[in-house]
Amino acid sequence: MKKNAFAELRALTVHELEAKAKETKAELFNLRFALRTGHLTDFSKVREMRRSYAQIQTVISEKKITDRDGAA
């Protein structure tokens, strides 16, 4: 994910990020399934999806911490 894409993630709300994380997790499941059955030809997609999911989760955590600290 490029830096500008990471900035785009930060512009989303927590609810939108959680929906995006759910979609990414489902796609990761499908990629892993395809990998195990031998239908996946581009193995780098699994790593890319894992990284993307982790980045989304990081932004969600940042936003939740910021919201919690801002409310206190």
Per-residue model confidence as pLDDT tens digits over 4-52: 888 899 999 999 999 999 999 999 999 999 999 999 999 999 999 999 9
Tokens of 4: 């500008």
**pLDDT over threshold 90, residue 72:** no
Distances in Å between the alpha carbon of 53 and those of 45, 49, 62, 69?
Answer: 12, 6, 14, 24
pLDDT of residue 24: 97
pLDDT of residue 32: 95
Q: How confident is the model at residue 2 (pLDDT cuts 50, 70, 90)?
A: low
* Cβ-based neighbours of 10, under 8 Å, separated by 6 or more: 59, 62, 63
**Angle between helical axes of 14-37 and 44-71 (0-180°, round to 10):** 160
Reduced to 3 states, what is the DSSP secondary structure of residue 61? helix
Query: Domain 3-71 maps to which CATH number in 3.40.50.720, 1.10.287.310, 1.10.1670.10, 3.40.190.10?
Result: 1.10.287.310
How much is the pTM?
A: 0.87
Reduced to 3 states, what is the DSSP secondary structure of residue 41? coil
